[in-house]
Chain A
């Protein structure tokens, strides 16, 4: 969407809030500061200021119509922190009108919204509809102009937008109470595939994906869900992804989960705008499996153990195992956790002697706590990664850590100010201190937000 169109859309949507009988405005103002001294580079001081702003206006003339806006703006008060060299930037994450029907969970959205009911997670400037049908069926669909992001090479930008001229997706599902749900979805992003252009493009920004998802939950004690996604852009259908997770509850206190996933890169990476990293010609595969055991030992203590095995055909195997103890006071005035993980990357292939990935085997420890005392809220979060052996990436730093302390004051129910200080040591910066000031506010009626 062109900036001029964005401004007009935003102005139109903003004025619509005037009709709202219940308007909520919420925002976060953040000021950060950090100094960076990297060998071979100039010393820099960064002080970016960031403003997040959201508006939810409900009951716009009718109880069912609402408006939702959310975006951010940012400017650098000293050295440039953006990688594209610009001192300021901003973005409209979403801005849409929603009509929610009293019946059939039906809704219509128009504007900029996120669509995730099909195989992807898409930002769209367009229209979305969904409704439940008789007999347990439901249907949803969206269509419009895809939101464009920057490409690595600006010379390709025109082709990127040219190929992605239209996006649409749909999902048809059937659900049965206490049995589960099965869904079929289709996503098409762009209609001008690279191979069909007069002058074929080296990068294909378009996608055609077909997905099948299901969820089986006959009882609270058992849950199996997952999906398979096919890339149907070519004459032959190819599998892009399988991802399945099973959950079993043993009594009231123990939950056991298992997961299995396979992804074929050259089909899964369809439509990327970063082809140097997510290579579309890469005939490689990832397979992973793992699981976790969660024991709610009491109403305040939770213990979690987890394991994950990852295998990549061209690289080797990595195993990750560990656990965490979480403590949540019944009145939620204290939340805390202690965790540890071991990552073994010994069984990886030595592709290049100059990049010994195997020595990235490490141990990780994390301790965190959050305390609320009256209007004061304090938190501490410390993470340490200790690498098993030296390698060029680490430039002599084997203990990589970061400690973040935060102190906040909840002035009223809807206004909170807080400040963070973090200190850390990394291969990039041996000593790094960062400061952050944050003001959060919320005016209006909204109860939602997941605070």
Chain B
């Protein structure tokens, strides 16, 4: 009998928690799943079309998503905060070209027919990494610290 009462109390408490949580959820409609217009090659400047607007969902000026050289290099900040906005134009496979966890070839080879895209390790990075890696191994760590390092391990045992 006591066990049944405890279960009833737990059930009511859980129900109240769910109701409270649901009441906290924003009533706003979700951000568009897909950009209505397909964009071609090159780096889009979002604010050219979306002037003086705040991106729905992200609640930031569209200029924050302009694909400037700095954006392309440091896009992790936007991706961490506003993955939904990225997903309206980019499929997950676009990210996986570089951030695949385990990839069969370096992104510069995979995309060797797309010199317009910024990909790491273009040219002979084997020589370059001796100074880049020595100077700032933390820049290597982001991609090779916990994954994608079988090639590194061939020498760095």
Enumerate chain A interface residues (CB-CB to B < 8 A): 26, 30, 32, 48, 50, 54, 56, 68, 70, 72, 74, 82-84, 89, 91, 93-94, 100-106, 114, 116-118, 121, 123, 131-134, 136-137, 147, 149-150, 152-153, 173, 175-178, 180-181, 183, 213, 215, 217, 219-221, 223, 225-227, 241, 245, 247, 249, 255, 257, 259, 263, 265, 268-269, 271-274, 276-278, 286, 288, 292, 294, 296, 304, 306, 310, 312, 315, 318, 324, 328, 332, 335, 337, 343, 345, 357, 360, 366, 368-370, 377, 379-381, 383, 385, 393-394, 400-402, 404, 406, 408, 418, 420, 422, 424, 426-428, 436, 438, 446-451
With the chains together, A175 CA to B76 CA distance in Å? 18
Chain A residue nearest to B137 in the complex (CB)? A278
Q: Are A134 and B42 interface neighbours, CB within 8 A?
A: no
As a 0/1 sequence over residues 125 to 151 of chain B, the CB contacts with chain A under 8 angstroms (1 = contact) are 011101100111110111011111111
Interface centre among B60, B84, B138, by most chain A C-beta atoms within 10 angstroms, is: B138
Partner of A448, one of B30, B79, B89: B89
Enumerate chain B interface residues (CB-CB to A < 8 A): 24-31, 33-35, 38, 40-42, 45, 47, 52, 54, 57-64, 66, 68-70, 74, 76-77, 79-81, 83-84, 87-96, 99-105, 109-110, 112-116, 122-124, 126-128, 130-131, 134-138, 140-142, 144-154, 156-157
With the chains together, A418 CA to B26 CA distance in Å? 48
Partner of A294, one of B68, B81, B142: B68
Q: Are B93 and A54 interface neighbours, CB within 8 A?
A: yes
Q: A74-B104, A213-B81, A312-B136 are in contact. Are A448 and B156 (CB under 8 A)?
A: no
Q: Are B52 and A220 interface neighbours, CB within 8 A?
A: yes
Q: A100-B30, A219-B61, A220-B52 are in contact. Are A50 and B135 (CB under 8 A)?
A: no
B124 to chain A, nearest CB (A): 4
B136 to chain A, nearest CB (A): 5
A346 to chain B, nearest CB (A): 12
Q: Are A394 and B127 interface neighbours, CB within 8 A?
A: yes
In the assembled complex, which residues on chain A have CB atoms less than 8 Å from the CB atom of B140? 277-278
21 CB contacts below 8 A, A to B, read A70-B96, A104-B25, A105-B26, A106-B30, A131-B26, A176-B59, A220-B47, A220-B62, A226-B77, A268-B141, A328-B42, A332-B42, A335-B42, A345-B135, A381-B112, A385-B123, A402-B123, A426-B126, A427-B127, A446-B91, A448-B89
Q: A83-B153, A116-B79, A328-B42 are in contact. Are A426 and B145 (CB under 8 A)?
A: no
Q: Are A304 and B69 interface neighbours, CB within 8 A?
A: yes
In the assembled complex, which residues on chain A have CB atoms less than 8 Å from the CB atom of B156? 152, 274, 276-277
In the assembled complex, which residues on chain A have CB atoms less than 8 Å from the CB atom of B112? 381, 404, 406, 420, 422, 436
Q: Are B114 and A370 interface neighbours, CB within 8 A?
A: yes
Q: Are A217 and B115 interface neighbours, CB within 8 A?
A: no
16 new A-B contacts, CB < 8 A, other than A183-B81, A247-B68, A345-B135, are: A91-B101, A100-B33, A104-B26, A104-B27, A116-B76, A134-B26, A226-B77, A255-B70, A273-B146, A276-B157, A277-B140, A294-B69, A335-B42, A368-B115, A383-B124, A426-B124
Q: A123-B147, A274-B152, A312-B136 are in contact. Are A215 and B91 (CB under 8 A)?
A: no
Q: A272-B146, A427-B127, A428-B126 are in contact. Are A223 and B63 (CB under 8 A)?
A: yes
